[in-house]
Amino acid sequence: MNRSECEALDRDDPLAPKRGAFAIPEGLIYLDGNSLGVLPAHVPGRVRDVVETQWGGSLIRSWNEHGWLALPRRVGDRIARLIGAPAGSVVAGDTISVNLFKLLGAAAQLAGPRRVILSDDGNFPSDLYVAQGFRDLVDDGYALEIVAPEEVVDALDERVAFTMLTEVDYRTARRHDMRAVTAKAHARGARVIWDLAHSAGAIPVDLAAAGADFAVGCTYKYLNGGPGSPAFLYVRPDLQDIVRPPLTGWWGHAEPFAFTPDYRPAPGIDRFQCGTQPILSMAALDAALDVWDGVVMRDVREKSLALCSLFIDLVEERCARHGVTVTGPRETAARGSHVSLRHPQGHAVMQALIASGVVGDFRAPDMMRFGFAPLYTRFTDVFDAVAIMAGILDTRRWDEPRYHARRAVT
Amino acid sequence: MNRSECEALDRDDPLAPKRGAFAIPEGLIYLDGNSLGVLPAHVPGRVRDVVETQWGGSLIRSWNEHGWLALPRRVGDRIARLIGAPAGSVVAGDTISVNLFKLLGAAAQLAGPRRVILSDDGNFPSDLYVAQGFRDLVDDGYALEIVAPEEVVDALDERVAFTMLTEVDYRTARRHDMRAVTAKAHARGARVIWDLAHSAGAIPVDLAAAGADFAVGCTYKYLNGGPGSPAFLYVRPDLQDIVRPPLTGWWGHAEPFAFTPDYRPAPGIDRFQCGTQPILSMAALDAALDVWDGVVMRDVREKSLALCSLFIDLVEERCARHGVTVTGPRETAARGSHVSLRHPQGHAVMQALIASGVVGDFRAPDMMRFGFAPLYTRFTDVFDAVAIMAGILDTRRWDEPRYHARRAVT
């Protein structure tokens, strides 16, 4: 594949016009994998309106007049469409960690005598930390069992109360078969909590078709909601009224403004709300989701697979000889929309890439992660990124001292 | 007191120049009591910079280069100064409800065999809901006992693990004696969790002098952080390393970017962080706190007391004959910075006030609440607000049908 062929792919790309909806810095190839999606071009104007007109002008009245109170549900419904969830089953707010805790408490109410929480070692560590905190607080015999991702299905036995899995591995992009895992869990009487952090906006998710019980996810990656934008939470409609979250705040109360002394859960997904949400961040997310209007996830997936395949092929052709290896499954159907590469000097190589205008991120000890957001990544971006990486490796440019300073990256 | 005398008070007010730091709509008397403080005039520019330059331009690098990762601690330290807390004892993030849950879990680790959570019926109901959710989840014999505010001190006996109190009553503005309650609790071997929702930025708080164990608070009222801006949490330094929060996310991990499978709490206040925070809302809050640079809380309190006294005196003089009563203690030292009035037609009177450019809020069934933010409320605002209210009552203007439509207000 040469550059002209990539240019042809970009010309024929049905999603190509979407790139114009984003404010991407000139000359930057942004393949962050993906802790912060790029800024949709219309978001600054919308945020300005929320700050100056709504907060500044309408002040307290905005909770009703500008729909602030309704934002968690409104945003939730907009995300629902992208993850195969029915309206009224998703609510936005808080963080993945907090939402996961809510769902652990809810799932535990369906556990009967079972006391095993099953997860895998490809899960994002913070999810495991939340489960550890839950286990220690509840102190009711829960055990957290962690197996390899490919062992999850076999480990789903009659001791398992629920399994808690991230669909797409944050490092290798290995993708669980949501439908198969959920079916097996249900056959064994267990529940599943899915983390869609690297799925929402990246791959087609069909929570309803899979019969998924619970899910969480974030919005600052492929949904471009902005730094640390609010997370979301899904509960299958038939479960919403038979469980209650352990975090019981007024926004989840049946009558939040009645100020009764006793908690009474709101019907439906609203009971999974808790406290007052950060409206500036929530409004930016709401605006960002406009970009998704009319987008069909099947088109997104098709382009995502093509971008990832192109990247993997070019890396193997031009970088493998320098000790770069591709992680995760080769079969694209079993992958998400990012690709992680290993190299003993991965951190330095990534610093050299960033200095050359190609932004990915790094996960210790040796993993360079590249995300391919189909709405704004071009085939020529992929071509150029690999060409630049090959140049850095060919000339050992990563060996310059300035690329070896360590600092925290997200 | 006539209007000329109020004008003289405004001329002599040492805080008067601060009003210019805020963007207050022309002609509006904003006495929301206080679910959303007004917009500081410089905040729109700062938010624009965060959205366009930091998110849009620097993208993922902003977590380090623009200090996003450090915001919860930076903002926490700025709030600490206003509530008598040492640097390193406050962290901003999440919501009051979520932070309260963290502290319930932490306080429970110091409970020994005690199992009573003591609160009062002047507490904000959401705090009680959170305690109920905690009690039900932990299922370890905890009981929530609720007494009248004036009975708290006597109810602090050897069964009480911790008491959870809002310093200033969200309705009546009655203020607990933080120092006396904390001392009594400690003498009886109990801990105290203070909610500073109606205290921070409104009255001088001295957590260190009181020896307070734990506290939470919000920032969207008197601190003008914006709608739903992140909450904060305080843990006394000597307790930080001997308790751990039940919400254990990666932002509270000793090495968040090491991605180890097991949770290991960060030293100090950082362990009370959990998930990724909403940076746009957090950055707006950080900017808003600039207004407080150089402000001495003693000056704030002095003006607050004068504003509240003026309001109460004028209301009693001009509105009491129409059945308006002032709630809460008459002694100003025992009050916060808002005043709630009762009237059988309180909702309609408040709607008529709002239509006349005086914004307070309403709490069912009959309470009109007025907040006095000393940084931007003038004595003439108080005079004019009462004059307008007296006019509405004198003419029974609240009886117009348009003022009787009900809707949710915050």
DSSP letter at A37 equals P
Same domain, A194 and A52: yes
In 3-state terms, what secondary structure has residue A91? Answer: strand
Q: How many helices (H) and strands (E) does chain A have?
A: 14, 15
Subunit contact B263:A97, Cβ cutoff 8 A = no
User: In this structure, is residue A325 part of a structural domain?
Assistant: yes
pLDDT tens-digit map of B313-331? 999 999 999 999 999 998 8
CB B67 within 8 A of CB B78: no
Phi-psi region of B266 (alpha: psi -120 to 50; beta: other; left: phi over 0): beta
Subunit contact A230:B278, Cβ cutoff 8 A = yes
Q: How many domains does chain A have?
A: 2
Q: What is the mean pLDDT of residues B234-253?
A: 97
B60 interaction partners in chain A (CB closer than 8 Å): 32, 35-36, 359, 361, 409-410
Mean pLDDT of all residues belonging to chain A: 96
In 3-state terms, what secondary structure has residue A330? Answer: coil
Structure tokens at A302: 């098709």
- Of A135, A126, A254, nearest to B253 by C-alpha is A126
Q: Distance, in angstroms, between A359 CA and closest chain B CA? A: 8
Catalytic amino acids of A? 124, 195, 220-221, 369
User: In this structure, is residue B84 part of a structural domain?
Assistant: yes
User: In this structure, is residue B205 part of a structural domain?
Assistant: yes
Q: Which of A242, A275, A292 is the last residue of a domain?
A: A292
Q: Which of B52, B69, B220 sits opposite A408 (nearest CB)?
A: B69
Subunit contact B39:A48, Cβ cutoff 8 A = no
Q: Which of A292, A309, A324 is the last residue of a domain?
A: A292
Same domain, A256 and A336: no
User: In this structure, is residue A38 part of a structural domain?
Assistant: no
- The enclosing domain of B125 has a CATH number of 3.40.640.10
pLDDT tens-digit map of B357-402? 999 999 888 999 999 999 999 999 999 999 999 999 999 999 999 9
Amino acid at A6: C
Task: Tell me how far apart the terminal alpha carbons of chain A are, to the nearest angstrom.
Answer: 32
Told to judge if B259 belongs to the known catalytic residues of this protein, a careful annotator would answer no
What pLDDT score was predicted for residue B35?
87
A146 interaction partners in chain B (CB closer than 8 Å): 261
Q: What is the mean pLDDT of residues B259-274?
A: 97
Q: Distance, in angstroms, between B313 CA and closest chain A CA? A: 27
DSSP letter at A327 equals -
- pLDDT category at A1 given cuts 50, 70, 90 is confident
**Residue B406: how many CB atoms within 10 A of its CB?**
10
Subunit contact B60:A277, Cβ cutoff 8 A = no
pLDDT tens-digit map of B33-78? 778 999 999 999 999 999 999 999 999 999 999 999 999 999 999 9
User: In this structure, is residue A37 part of a structural domain?
Assistant: no
Structure tokens at B18: 């601060």
Instruction: Say how far apart CA B227 and CA B285 lie, in whole Å.
Output: 10
- pLDDT category at A5 given cuts 50, 70, 90 is very high
What pLDDT score was predicted for residue A410?
42
Q: What is the mean pLDDT of residues A111-134?
A: 97
Catalytic-role residue among B124, B162, B272, B372: B124
Structure tokens at A159: 């001791």
Subunit contact B227:A55, Cβ cutoff 8 A = yes
Same domain, A238 and A263: yes
Instruction: Say how far apart CA B305 and CA B406 lie, in whole Å.
Output: 33
Same domain, A131 and A263: yes
Q: Please, what is the Cα angle at B231 between B131 and B249, to 5 degrees?
A: 75
Asked if pLDDT for residue A325 goes beyond 70, the answer is yes
Q: What is the mean pLDDT of residues B104-109?
A: 98
User: In this structure, is residue A41 part of a structural domain?
Assistant: no
CB B334 within 8 A of CB B176: no
User: In this structure, is residue A101 part of a structural domain?
Assistant: yes
Structure tokens at B159: 């069964």
- The enclosing domain of A388 has a CATH number of 3.90.1150.10
Same domain, A115 and A95: yes
Same domain, B180 and B225: yes
Q: Which of B245, B262, B292 is the last residue of a domain?
A: B292
In A, minimum Cα distance to B23 occurs at: A56
Same domain, B115 and B20: no
Same domain, B334 and B348: yes
pLDDT tens-digit map of A155-208? 999 999 999 999 999 999 999 999 999 999 999 999 999 999 999 999 999 999
Same domain, B282 and B301: no
CB A83 within 8 A of CB A217: yes
Say what percent of chain A tops pLDDT 70: 99
User: In this structure, is residue A226 part of a structural domain?
Assistant: yes
Q: Which of B62, B101, B248 sits opposite A132 (nearest CB)?
A: B248
Instruction: Say how far apart CA A353 and CA A360 lie, in whole Å.
Output: 8
What pLDDT score was predicted for residue A96?
98
Asked if pLDDT for residue B408 goes beyond 50, the answer is no
Subunit contact B274:A98, Cβ cutoff 8 A = yes
Subunit contact A280:B278, Cβ cutoff 8 A = yes
A125 interaction partners in chain B (CB closer than 8 Å): 250, 253, 259-261
Same domain, B21 and B62: no
Does A311 or A407 have the greater pLDDT score?
A: A311
pLDDT tens-digit map of B180-221? 999 999 999 999 999 999 999 999 999 999 999 999 999 999
Told to judge if B124 belongs to the known catalytic residues of this protein, a careful annotator would answer yes
pLDDT tens-digit map of B130-140? 999 999 999 99
What pLDDT score was predicted for residue B406?
64
Subunit contact B52:A44, Cβ cutoff 8 A = yes
Asked if pLDDT for residue B410 goes beyond 60, the answer is no
Same domain, B267 and B335: no
Same domain, B137 and B252: yes
**Residue B341: how many CB atoms within 10 A of its CB?**
23
Q: Which of A61, A258, A364 sits opposite B257 (nearest CB)?
A: A364
- Which domain does A373 fall in, by range? 3-30+296-404
Asked if pLDDT for residue B333 goes beyond 50, the answer is yes
pLDDT tens-digit map of B80-89? 999 999 999 9
Q: Distance, in angstroms, between A263 CA and closest chain B CA? A: 5
pLDDT tens-digit map of B342-351? 999 999 999 9
Asked if pLDDT for residue A409 goes beyond 70, the answer is no
What pLDDT score was predicted for residue B111?
97
Q: How many helices (H) and strands (E) does chain B have?
A: 14, 15
Structure tokens at B329: 């203690």
Asked if pLDDT for residue A408 goes beyond 90, the answer is no
Q: What is the mean pLDDT of residues A254-268?
A: 95
